[in-house]
Amino acid sequence: MKNRILIIDDDFDFVDAVKTLLEANGYDVSLAYDGHDGFQKIKSESPELIILDMMMTYKTEGADIAKTISQDAATKDIPVLLITGAKKDMNFPFDFEPDENNLPVKAVLEKPIKPEELLKMVTTYIRQTGDKHRILVEGLKSLVDKWSGKKGKLIMILHEIQNHYGYVPRAISFELSRLLDTPLARIYEVITFYNFFKLVPPGKHLISVCMGTACYLKGAQKVLNELKKMLKIEEGQTTKDGLFHLQVVRCLGCCGLAPVIMIDDKVFAKVDKDKIVGIITDYREKQDEK
């Protein structure tokens, strides 16, 4: 599967030349000649990179499209190369600087553009974002094909995604919506209805705090509160460094060892505040050694 690049530009000669150049270098190229059609193709085709003209039907059309791309959760991570022939002569609603936090613009290139310069930029940002995205799309297409025509296919696909990643990544949901031609709201409806599905990464280590009767009576709530304080998260959340995910379970079946916590598949018995500090510190130190 080739990396797909979308060119949005109303200059037919420029588009034709760039399309020929990119296809000769192994890219799949899609075209749009105005902002409206361009944004529709962004949503339907999910390109790995966008080459966007600053001025089309009106002088700020490209600027407006770049802003729209950045504000849409489904498109904001797609890198944009902005093309302009009037960068020095016109004032635009906002400045374009590469890698600004509020824009997906990676570079601003002025016409006439040297072919080798354009190819260098394309190669750079396809390598950084495109390959990862392409692999993701290929994997999803395989799942969609596997469950095509079968009842309950959405849930089964989501189960496979959950088992692979440990959660359902946002980017996966958007691509799945496109591939299945299913509203994104429907996908999130299923994800949020079933407790099995998670929307955030589970963390490298899963901490389970038992809240069964024996553990609760022996101080499990104090243990949970201490973990929340140490890790600076609530139950169901993951630490900022991605090292721990905290959850509460009804019973771990170790009532005689209460209160009990489990980290991954290791059980810690008769835990208290002091033991919690030592356990968490030990895991962090082992992580630092790697």
- The string of pLDDT tens digits covering residues 111-168 is 888 899 999 989 888 876 666 666 777 788 888 899 988 888 999 999 998 888 778 8
| pLDDT for residue 104 | 66
Distance of alpha carbon 218 from alpha carbon 264, whole angstroms: 22
Same domain? For 9 and 125 the reply is yes
pLDDT of 100 higher than 50: no
Confidence of residue 73 (pLDDT cuts 50, 70, 90): low
Q: How far apart are CA 9 and CA 52, in angstroms?
A: 6
Statement to judge: residues 181 and 218 lie in one domain: no
Strand pairing report for 266-268 and 261-263 = antiparallel
Residue 256 lies in a domain: yes
**pLDDT at residue number 94:** 42
143 occurs within a structural domain = no
What long-range pairs does 262-267 form, CB within 8 A, spacing at least 24? 262/207, 262/208, 262/210, 263/205, 263/206, 263/207, 263/208, 264/205, 264/206
**Per-residue pLDDT, 128:** 64
Q: How confident is the model at residue 207 (pLDDT cuts 50, 70, 90)?
A: very high
Identify the pLDDT of residue 131. 65
Q: What is the pLDDT of residue 102?
A: 44
Specify if 136 maps to a domain: no
Instruction: Answer whether residue 114 is part of any domain.
Output: yes
CATH code for the domain in which residue 260 is found: 3.40.30.10
Average pLDDT score, the chain: 84
- Cα distance between residue 57 and residue 158, in whole Å: 42
Backbone torsions φ then ψ of 161, nearest 5 degrees: -65, -45
Predicted confidence at residue 263, as pLDDT, reads: 93
pLDDT-wise least confident of 127-131, 175-179, 278-282? 127-131
Is 231 exposed, middle or buried (CB count within 10 Å of its CB: 0-12, 13-18, 19+)? Answer: buried
At 71, which CATH number? 3.40.50.2300
Residue 135, both tokens: 């692999």
Q: Which residue has the higher pLDDT, 86 or 159?
A: 159
Give the pLDDT mean for 49-65: 83
Q: Are residues 12 and 49 in the same domain?
A: yes
Quick check: bond before 47 cis, omega within 30?
Answer: no
The total of structural domains in the chain comes to 3
Q: Report pLDDT digits (tens) over 237-269.
A: 889 888 998 988 888 888 999 999 999 889 999
* Percent of residues, the chain, with pLDDT higher than 90: 31
Separation CA 60–CA 83 (nearest Å): 12
Count of CB atoms situated within 10 Å of the CB of 30: 17
> Are 121 and 13 in the same domain?
yes
Round to whole Å and give the CA distance between 86 and 62: 12
Q: Kindly tell me if the per-residue pLDDT of 76 is higher than 80.
A: no
Pair (65, 112) in one structural domain:
yes
Domain residues for 161?
Answer: 148-193
Q: Which residue has the higher pLDDT, 138 or 18?
A: 18
Q: How confident is the model at residue 215 (pLDDT cuts 50, 70, 90)?
A: very high
| 121, 26: one domain | yes
pLDDT at 33: 92
- Structure pTM? 0.54
- Does residue 166 sit in the same domain as residue 120? no
Same domain, yes or no: 156 and 210: no
Q: Does residue 52 sit in the same domain as residue 114?
A: yes
Helix axes 131-147, 170-180, angle to 10 degrees: 50
Q: Which residue has the higher pLDDT, 19 or 70?
A: 19
- pLDDT bracket for residue 290 (50, 70, 90): low
